[in-house]
Structure 1
């Protein structure tokens, strides 16, 4: 892959990928799932919410209030992944551990087949969970995430090329000093939400995230292609996308076509695109997001 294309891919992927009304889970429970922390709100039908790269579970605060408030009959389980937003990192492959431990968390807490809502990297993790643990997953809501993030600029890229691109990006990011890395994060986050307060909050989570964890997780999602594997997902799936933050790369029609192409193997998938939100839809277009989720989960 030539260096110009790699730089364009890197910029687009970084923009896509970096992405509190909960009660902390008992400290003893953390020993069984060190790859994430969990906050639980409400009573009733379980819903698991997973934030994106370098994000806190607090990103779902408004969604939790909507889905699992006193008038609702749902129970929200909100994750913050290890190494993100001040949570202690873990050694090894974070996403593989999070997937395995989340399957265990569902079983241990007798949650049956909970709905899973995942944003960005959290959406990727939700897809992996549904592919590998179909009996433990109910309805899926994937918020601005793709099965093959590294293939957005070059749909015909091979698995070997994806792995090579991920390795190059990982090496380049690890070579950055902390100041340069932080500056890159700030630039990336600036276009992910519309309101300055939200941008500042997201940036703060990134600044408190473990650099090595963020880089490794990004490399994993860039180097992985689930476009064929999503055919194994048997649960109803809603994909919610955005486009206005990416209009410098492609028009709305092209971005929607990318979503439909990448999810074409997923049986019965529903895809909707917000015309008002940047990457953090829960901040930019919450009414639309909640309406889509309500309609899908009812």
Structure 2
């Protein structure tokens, strides 16, 4: 993939990919409500969960700096068909920062898998945006039998290799460390936050909201999350994933840097090559926040996928 300004492109796609449905028409009888089990928040200090709706369980995981509220419209659409478990990671969007950032995303992964087990969720579907999509993949490669169908919204199994497919996690560490140190120094100004988020979505009000969430996020947590993603390569492990996955990609934000829909799709195809059951769909005009920018397309894709895989096979 040829870029006119590779360094600038990499910074923008890193920020974009890390920032952090007509309703399904299956009859209500097809959905068996998940068992209601008393939650123990102390068991998962790296995130909180809000449960809304009834039906088959679905975990919704946001991207970098975003709280679970980024899924409000998605939850409103699906809560009559699905039991939505809406995740907010500690340190993002005003949530209290974790006590330690050591092995941050690995701890999130392990605590989410434990949450699925203690809540007795039967292979819940996962809808994850950016970091949330990466987390869905990581959970699935770690415990393939625990997780159900995946909807991955503009995310990759190894972000650092977006330009160089031969890059290893070890080789990416110096770059990742530099990013961690830079982001951990302190919060960006609101003007800087708005400038960064403006390239990830089209709606002015949405830009303001995402910028506020970024301003409220803990810099050390954000920096560590980026470091963890840049130094974790899931590509070789994708073959362990047993369930189907829908990968929704964006490319329009990268057009100024030489990207085309076809060249961006090729990156997705290469990174997901070892994932056994997957389909890649590219939005025509949506930027990184596809559930906001290309809402009807996002819902149409997700509706059909969940109807086929989350309800029909339960």
Scaled by the length of structure 1, what TM-score is found? 0.90
What is the SS of the residue equivalent to 2:112?
A: helix
Among candidates 283, 287, 291, match of residue 274 of structure 1 = 283
In 2, are the aligned partners of 1:114 and 1:139 still within 8 Å (CA)?
Answer: yes
Deviation at 1:11, TM superposition (A): 3.3
C-alpha distance in 1 between matches for 2:184 and 2:303: 41
In 2, are the aligned partners of 1:165 and 1:223 still within 8 Å (CA)?
Answer: no
1:12 aligns with 2:13: yes
Cα distance change, pair 96–187 in 1 and its aligned pair in 2 (3 A): same
Q: Which residue of 2 aligns with 1:153?
A: 163
Q: Which residue of 2 aligns with 1:94?
A: 104
What is the SS of the residue equivalent to 1:127?
A: helix
Stretches of structure 1 that go unaligned for 5 or more consecutive residues are: 20-24
C-alpha distance in 1 between matches for 2:253 and 2:38: 39
What is the SS of the residue equivalent to 2:52?
A: strand
Stretches of structure 2 that go unaligned for 5 or more consecutive residues are: 21-35, 308-314
Among candidates 223, 240, 248, match of residue 215 of structure 1 = 223
Deviation at 1:79, TM superposition (A): 0.2
Scaled by the length of structure 2, what TM-score is found? 0.86
Cα distance change, pair 111–179 in 1 and its aligned pair in 2 (3 A): closer
Deviation at 1:158, TM superposition (A): 2.5
Show the 5 A alignment for 1:209-248. 209-248=217-256
C-alpha distance in 2 between matches for 1:27 and 1:184: 41
Deviations 1:42-67 (Å, cap 9, x if unpaired)? Answer: 11110110000000101111111111
Among candidates 174, 177, 181, match of residue 167 of structure 1 = 177
1:295 aligns with 2:298: no
Deviation at 1:276, TM superposition (A): 2.5
Deviations 1:223-282 (Å, cap 9, x if unpaired)? Answer: 221111112111111100111111122111110110111000101211101112111111
C-alpha distance in 1 between matches for 2:131 and 2:86: 14
**Worse-matched range after superposition: 112-121 or 242-251:** 242-251
Among candidates 265, 269, 274, match of residue 265 of structure 1 = 274
Among candidates 126, 132, 135, match of residue 122 of structure 1 = 132
1:131 aligns with 2:141: yes
Deviation at 1:184, TM superposition (A): 4.0
Deviation at 1:14, TM superposition (A): 1.7
Q: Which has the higher contact order (CA 8 A, sep 6+)?
A: 2
Q: Which residue of 2 aligns with 1:22?
A: none
**Worse-matched range after superposition: 121-130 or 164-173:** 164-173
**Worse-matched range after superposition: 78-87 or 226-235:** 226-235
> How well do the aligned residues superpose, as a CA RMSD in angstroms?
2.0
Cα distance change, pair 89–41 in 1 and its aligned pair in 2 (3 A): same
